[in-house]
Amino acid sequence: MTRVVAFRPEPGLSRTIAAGQEAGIEIAGAPLGEVAAVPWDAPPAREYDGLLVGSANVFRHGGRALQGLRALPVHCVGEATAEAARAEGFSVARTGEGGLQTVLDGLTGKDIRLLRLSGSERVNLSPTAKVEVDEIAVYEVRPLPLDMIVAQGLPGSIALLHSAATARHLAQECDRLGIDRAAATVAALGPRIAAAAGPGWAAIHSAERPNDAHLLALVSQICKTA
């Protein structure tokens, strides 16, 4: 089977490797980044109707400032984020499956004001007329150098990419180390991430939906047609 390498920070990297094992896909891993908290102050919870969260890293790295917001229901991008919210004592109002935009689009009825907690790099959203969203970054992903041994094994492999920042960083590291991207294939969690990887790859593919199940299904299909 074609070599598959996942590039994402922990603990997501280990989850992807484990999901690959369950799907019968052997995945090597390289973090290429580490998640770290950034200083932030929580606004008064009474000013909002809920939280909008697109990553479990918010609850892992949000720190003590999160305590003042526990009364607010959380609208989560997916089940992994919802589990992290519950583990920190939050109630979950909504769990999406296709990205935060679909979560927002599903909010109908009365006017609502949400506080979006996220990383320093985040996807732009388009709230509906009845939804107001304020944004605060509570963590960041700090880039790490690509290991030369991993880099040398990249040609002929499939690179799994879960974020636009990691996609850009991988391309930059390949250029820095003189790795020929034309011999490697990208399998990205979504079109925005695929675009961030830039040109020059043998092929670039995007999962139908932004989760590991669909990404691994894409990998299986690529391997079958390789």
User: Cβ–Cβ contacts within 10 Å for residue 185, how many?
Assistant: 21
Domain count along the chain: 2
Q: Tell me, what's the pLDDT at 70?
A: 97
Judge contact between 69 and 46, C-beta under 8 A: no
Q: Do 83 and 156 belong to one domain?
A: no
Buried b (16+ CB within 10 A) or exposed e, 2-12: ebbbbbbbeeb
Q: Do 100 and 190 belong to one domain?
A: no
The candidate with the shortest Cα–Cα distance to 70, out of 36, 45, 96, is 45
Range of the domain at 93: 36-141
CATH of the domain at 103: 3.40.50.10090
Given a cut of 70, the residues of the chain with pLDDT beneath it are 226
Distance, in Å, from the CA atom of 132 to the CA atom of 110, rounded to the nearest integer, reads 11
Distance, in Å, from the CA atom of 14 to the CA atom of 27, rounded to the nearest integer, reads 10
Q: Do 81 and 157 belong to one domain?
A: no
